[in-house]
Structure 1
Amino acid sequence: MLGVLLLPGVLRAFLPALIGRSSLAMSVLALLLAVQEETDSFAQGGLATAAFGIATALSAPWRARAIDRFGQRRALMAMASGQAAGFLALALLTDGEQDAAPWLLLALSAGSGLTAPPLGAAMRVIWASLTRAGEERKRAFSVDAMAEEFLFLSGPVIVGSVIGATSPPVGLGVSAATVLLGTAAMVSSPASGELRGSGQDVVRGGRPLRRPGFGRVLLVLLGTGTVLGAVDVVAPAIAAQHDAASAAGWLLAAFSAGSALGGLLYGRLNLRSGIGTRLLALSIGMGTVTVGVSWTTSLGFFAAGLALIGLFLAPSLVTGYLIADAVAPEGGRTEASTWINTALNLGASLASAGAGIVVDRSGAGFALLLAGLVPLALALATPCARLRTIATKATIATADAGPG
């Protein structure tokens, strides 16, 4: 499966893209600790990261449209420069020498999110241009998903070590450097340079959201995001219940490791089922396993259960990316791919907020149980006929299309 990395032009774009994407994996922790240290309030730090995350998610489709219109080099460099400037401004305001107003820190946090370059979506467009539709592209997207899981596993560890040795503002500086340098190196690659954009805000065939059935794909992935967001809250709560707060990181690592393994296995399997059927099966499987794990009381079994839940995450995303790539209208590939992430992140954000309330009132197990019921309900409630329509188009496209 890793053979896709040896295709001409891949590593020249993929490696710097990973450097740039690592910024997102590091910046949330750095932002939280920097604002908390400056204001002496975890509540303010939480608000800052919430402002960053919400701004990133809600503005993602419009940033993707800018890339499809103006090309990767112009649009991504402008965004990366804006985000790096925001991180550096926050670093200066939280270095202990300034007395920054909380509203200013929130505004800069939101601004940093608004200008976040969607490097993952941009890289998937590059993958599509360098691979043949079908199994080769599925393997490429699986490798990409595995690498992203590794980034979110290692990123907090790296920036945490940097902050421990220096200070939170330095962590923000590292995030600024990685997003700027990684983006600059990625867009300087020939594969990225060839994606010059349409030059106008016109997408033939209508916007991705107007494609028949695409909204239902996003609805299914919203349920997948619900489980992701709940796990982020429930894992630390379960660890605290066992008087092992330090185990929270290992529990989340087990979830990420399961997702990475799922992406590896999914990329190697030669599945004959329709791509829409796969998406529904993955959602139902994830929900069923989550409900089962919610009854687990042993910390060790809970860690193993999280790894099992994680097995469904990367394959669900890869399937969503394949559908988005296959049915995206001309000039709207980046936007279509970004909507997949937006659906997942929106579900995760809503679940994180709701899970915290449920954990306080009814316990961590009940919160995970409710989260597992959501993908089951959304998958079963999704009109299969419409989903099959878009899935059939995606299957035909991935089977019959020539080189990307």
Structure 2
Amino acid sequence: MTAMPSADMCSGSAPSYAAVLRLPHARRAFGAAMLGRLSYGTIPLSLLLAVKSGTGSYAVAGTVMALFGATSVLLSPMRAGLVDRYGARRVLPPMVALYAVLLVGIAVATWRPGASGVGVGVAVAAAGACTPPVGPVMRAVWSELAPSRELLQRAYSLDGVAEEIVFASGPLLVGLLVGWAPAAAGVVLAASLIVVGTMALAGSPAVRRVGAAGGGGGAAEPADGGSASGGAGLWRAVVVAAGVGVALGGIDLLAVAFAEDRGRSAAVAWILAALSVGSAVGGLAHGAVSWRVSADRRLPLLALGLGASLAAAGLSPNLYVLAAAATLTGLFVAPAITTAYLIADAAATPDTRTRVGAWVNTTLNAGSSAGAAATGVLIAPTPLPLLFVLAALPVLVAAALAGLGASSGRRSRPAGRVGDRPSPAPAAGSGSTHSDHDGSSAL
């Protein structure tokens, strides 16, 4: 399944987002992955409402959701490693079958009041442990399909923005469903979506090279070709992803506190929407331009921009300025996450590609959980402007560490562009100013 050059590339122009969807089998695999990810957009709220309804306890619901998040996030690299070792087509079907059976069991147990909190907790933790790695597999598919580095950047950008849309749509879909059906119906919906999406993804011809059955296609091997520098690149990607996660994890509570402090709690939705819009615009714009600067050098700059804009947002005099600041912060979110995925992909070998992407995803989500928890503890005793700075501090530190690491890598290796892989042939326009993308996958 060797990827063919796109028409855009052959014509000498920079590849477009349309060229991404014209890659062989890309639309089928991408559509299936988006359907599976829609399940992940619906499952958090569905589980929360179902467990609360079935057990009658917010405390149990919160504890159960923490268990689900812990097993899902922390075991993500292990599940991705199974894909790398045995192949996506062999791993995904049994994994999604077990996951769906557990979800249906949880739905049955919580359909009516009187469910056992312990029993539901065990089932939810088990479900989290076998969550299918749809996002990491799809990113590995893009890496196999894209014949050039520029096209891979656009593929990741499109993937990340579409993922953000389905994650925003998921809770709305659950809200519509539970308006006329029991809360547990949302869990059944999530199970149905993940089965259809994952099985369609596993059956796509684009997936046959992901994992044990694959190897070697796509946009080429890491530019440096050295395991040591590849490992350092992955380390920088993981550190920045963790810092970005901490910042994002605190933003929700910061927005709530800021809006409540001004007596307009309902404005929170607009602030968070502004952040999402900024991220989508930033991701698409960043992925649409060809960069002269390598991904390793871009990553700390993007993280610095994110951290600085978030810290400055705490000085906003009113909600309108905060919404504008949130939009500015969002412009850096998708590009920073995307660049981290690109660097991780460049550090990967054909038999570790799914796993290294999962490590970035894991640290992003773990950082988000840690950021939310820390902000919750500090929000009462800490002045709000200072709390914005504290939320931004981890990503600023990560930017400094990534910048130092990239500088050290350039001094030790005079040739090559760290974090980038060579394209088969340079496209005209590749000397323009920008380009990259996002890839935040919650799961």
TM over 0.5: yes
Q: TM-score, normalised by structure 1?
A: 0.91
In the TM superposition, what are the counterparts of 1:375-390 in structure 2 within 5 Å? 375-382=395-402, 383-384=404-405, 385-386=407-408, 388=410
- In the TM superposition, 1:25-104 aligns within 5 A as 25-96=41-112, 99-104=114-119
Q: Over residues 303-360 of structure 1, what are the superposed CA-to-partner deviations in whole Å (9 max), with x where a residue is unaligned?
A: 2211211111111111111111112023000001111111111111110100011112
Name the CA distance, whole Å, in 1 between partners of 2:372 and 2:424.
40
> Structure 1: which amino acid aligns with 2:110?
T
Q: CA deviation at 1:369?
A: 1.9
Question: Residues 227-246 of structure 1 correspond to what in structure 2 (within 5 A)?
Answer: 227-246=247-266
SS at match of 1:296: coil
How far apart in 2 are the matches of 1:127 and 1:379?
A: 27
CA contact (8 A) 1:358 1:364 kept: no
Match of 1:239, SS state, is helix
Q: 1:9 aligns with which of 13, 22, 25?
A: 25
Contact 1:197 1:331 in 2 (8 A): yes
- 1:163-203 deviation line (CA, Å, top 9, x unaligned): 1221210011101100111101111111113435169xxxx
Q: Is the 8 Å Cα contact of residues 233 and 344 (structure 2) preserved in structure 1?
A: no
Does structure 2 retain, via aligned residues, the 8 Å contact 1:212–1:390?
A: no
Query: 5 Å matches for 1:116-127?
Result: 116-127=131-142
Cα 1:7–1:329 shift into 2, 3 Å: closer
What are the within-5 Å matches in structure 2 for residues 188-207 of structure 1? Answer: 188-195=203-210, 197=212
* Corresponding residue of 2:144: 129
C-alpha spacing 1:83/1:402, structure 2 compared with 1 (3 Å): farther
Instruction: Decide whether aligned partners of structure 1 residues 386 and 333 sit closer, same or farther in structure 2, where only a CA change above 3 A counts.
Output: farther
Say if 1:67 and 1:197, in contact at 8 Å, map to a contact too. yes
1:330 partnered with 2:346: no
The within-5 A match list for 1:145-224 is 145-195=160-210, 197=212, 211-224=231-244
Instruction: Flag the structure with higher helix content.
Output: 1
2:321 equivalent to 1:301? yes
How far apart are the structure 1 equivalents of 2:264 and 2:290? 41
CA distance in 2, matches of 1:63, 1:206: 26
Call closer, same or farther: CA 1:392–1:303 in 2, change over 3 Å. farther
Cα displacement (A) at 1:221:
1.8
Q: Distance between the aligned counterparts of 1:379 and 1:396, measured in 2?
A: 15
Alignment deviations for residues 116-174 of structure 1 (CA, whole Å, 9 cap, x no partner): 11111101111111112311110111000111111121111111211122121001110
Larger deviation: 100-109 or 255-264?
A: 100-109
Go from structure 1 to structure 2 and tell me whether the alpha carbon gap of 1:44 and 1:242 turns closer, same or farther (over 3 Å shift).
farther
**CA contact 2:240–2:399 (8 Å) conserved in 1:** yes
Instruction: For 2:232 and 2:256, locate their aligned partners in 1 and report how far apart those are by CA, in whole Å.
Output: 40
Judged with a 3 Å threshold, the aligned counterparts in structure 2 of structure 1 residues 33 and 123 are, in CA distance, closer, same or farther, namely same
Q: Distance in 1 between matches of 2:226 and 2:105?
A: 39
Kindly provide the amino acid, as one letter, of the partner of residue 398 in structure 1. R
Contact 2:144 2:209 in 1 (8 A): no
Q: Deviations over 1:220-268 (max 9, x none)?
A: 2211111110112222333333333333333222211211111100011
**1:330 aligned counterpart, secondary structure:** coil
Q: 1:167 and 1:128 mapped to 2: Cα distance?
A: 41
Q: Does the 8 Å CA contact 1:32/1:49 hold for their aligned counterparts?
A: yes
Count of equivalent residues: 397
Secondary structure of the corresponding residue to residue 362 of structure 1: coil
Q: How far 1:36 moved relative to its partner? A: 1.5
Task: Could you tell me which runs of 5 or more consecutive residues in structure 1 were left unpaired when the two chains were aligned.
Answer: 200-204
Amino acid of the structure 1 residue aligned with 2:118: W
Partner of 1:202: none
Residues 110 and 181 (structure 1 numbering): CA distance in 2 closer, same or farther, change over 3 Å?
same
Q: Which AA in structure 1 matches 2:318?
A: S
Q: Are the equivalent residues in 1 in contact too, given 2:302–2:336 (CA < 8 A)?
A: yes
- 1:82 is displaced (CA, Å) by 2.0
- Does residue 140 (structure 1) correspond to residue 155 (structure 2)? The answer is yes
- Sequence identity (%): 35
Aligned mates of 1:120, 1:168 — CA distance in 2: 26
* Alpha carbons 2:296, 2:419 under 8 Å: kept: no
Q: Distance in 1 between matches of 2:419 and 2:68?
A: 39
Preserved CA contact (<8 Å) 2:80 2:358: yes
Aligned partners of 2:87 and 2:211 also within 8 Å: yes
